[in-house]
Homo-oligomer: A and B are copies of this chain.
Amino acid sequence: MLQFFQEIKDELAVVERELQNALQTPDPLLTETATHLLKAGGKRLRPAFSLLGGKCFNFNLERILPLAVALELIHMATLIHDDVVDDAQTRRGKPTIRACWGNRISTHVGDYLFARSLIIIARYDNPLIPRVLADTSVKMCEGEIQQISGSFTEDQSVRDYFYRINRKTALLIAASCQLGAVACGAPADIHLALRRYGHYLGMAFQITDDILDLVARQGQLGKPVGSDLRQGIITLPVIYALEQSPRREYLKTLILSREKDEKQIQEAINLILDCGAIEHSAAIVRKYVFKAKEALGVLPEKPAKNILGAIADFIGVRKF
């Protein structure tokens, strides 16, 4: 993905410095824990999308910088709480905050990063920025709760799945693209087009993630293959296979079992692959990629527009 960020390399370096600055606190323990995940790296996708969104209009780094920092803080806060919730040991190849300091510290550090983002957002006079981010945050929580209440249950439609991945992934990417343009003073037709682009791209991105969880080669993902199946999270290829596989009753038993061994995970994956669920899901990714690129149509001809289009094409074929 990084090849697309050449255009905004310098700006991303400034965002990185500002993220570091934002997490310097009077308490050494708090500074250490808050910067722990930051130091583990990450692609800074959301800041990057906000910068590219801004570059589709009258780009102004100073105006966009607080937003870019806040977006990454919100994202990091959700990751830290997700690691508490999932008892995760590693994240981005490093031990998680909860693995190093326990759940008590992690819960508060996640809250802290989120609250820090609010201070930064409160600098904006345009009320659309805090409003969109507040709305996005609420919906992200709704998605998380729905993912938990829906895990290990067969009764899930494609509609439930789209509802959930929109909240889990697409909304914050849509907000990043949109608000980058909003921060630079773009009119509604431009920032709403960017929002649509971000929505479709985020959906394509998450479906691809869910496909890769089943088909990636070991070691390619930074997490074990089949981790969604282990957690009972029902993704698009699974929903398709539960409808279409000739052995769907047996597959259901495998998927709903909370105690699966590695052999059963592999068996379930094979059944999902055999019925064409991956091809079906990949076709849906292509539809979203098409819609994402279509949304770019109204934007002025600028390099950033072409980069966003190229990112969409890349999502459709990415293997990592």
Contact = CB atoms under 8 A, between A and B. Distances in A.
Interface of A: 25-27, 29-30, 33, 81, 84-86, 103-105, 107-112, 114-116, 118-119, 121-122, 125, 127, 130-131, 133-135, 137-138, 140-142, 144-146, 148-149
Q: A85, A109, A133, A135 — which one has the most chain B CB atoms within 10 A of its CB?
A: A85
A112 B138 contact: yes
A104 B98 CA distance: 14
A146 B103 CA distance: 15
A145 B115 contact: no
15 contacts: A27-B142, A29-B145, A33-B145, A81-B107, A81-B111, A84-B84, A84-B107, A86-B104, A109-B141, A112-B138, A115-B134, A118-B118, A118-B138, A119-B131, A122-B130
B127 A125 contact: yes
A85 B112 contact: no
A138 B122 contact: no
Contact of A107 (B33, B85, B146): B85
Q: A29, A33, A103, A108 — which one has the most chain B CB atoms within 10 A of its CB?
A: A108
Contacts of A86: 104
A108 B122 contact: no
Contact of A148 (B104, B118, B144, B145): B104
A111 to B, nearest CB: 5
Contacts of A29: 145, 148-149
Given A119-B135, A121-B134, 14 more contacts: A30-B142, A103-B103, A105-B148, A108-B148, A110-B111, A111-B137, A112-B138, A112-B141, A112-B142, A115-B138, A118-B134, A118-B137, A119-B131, A119-B134
Contact of A108 (B85, B105, B109, B119): B85
A138 B23 CA distance: 11
Contacts of A130: 118, 122, 130
